[in-house]
Amino acid sequence: MDPTQIGTVADAVAAALSAYDALVELGEEIEDEWSYVNDLADIWRTRLEAVATARGHEAVAGAVATAIAVAGREAAAIDDPHRAIDWLSTYPQVVLIALDERP
């Protein structure tokens, strides 16, 4: 994720959701957790999309873009499905805080 590609809240959410989808896919590898993973993903996706709808046109500061990009790279580095499931709640909250939103 390149922070120079993140200029607006909509860009930030799109980048975050791309990283989030990869976490979901990894978490789905744990069959016993499939429903939990998808329920959690639906909730957080809806929340992030609501922010993009409400504030998508707003510009983000360079530090915010960098924070989103760094968090996305950290998420992409996860290769353990159990750890990915842990991040399904954590990652969206980090993104929301970076965007000055309540988690």
- Is a pLDDT exceeding 90 seen at residue 98? yes
* Widest pairwise Cα distance in the chain: 41
Question: What's the pLDDT tens digit per position in 50-73?
Answer: 999 999 999 999 999 999 999 999
Q: Which parts of 1-103 are beta strand (E)?
A: none
What pLDDT is attached to residue 10? Answer: 98
Q: Count Cα neighbours of 13 within 13 Å in the Cβ-side half-sphere.
A: 23
What pLDDT is attached to residue 71? Answer: 96
What pLDDT is attached to residue 80? Answer: 97
The three-point CA angle 65-67-69 to 5° equals 70
Residues contacting residue 102 through CB under 8 Å, at least 6 positions apart = 96
pLDDT band at 1 (very low <50, low <70, confident <90, very high): confident
pTM (2 decimals)? 0.94
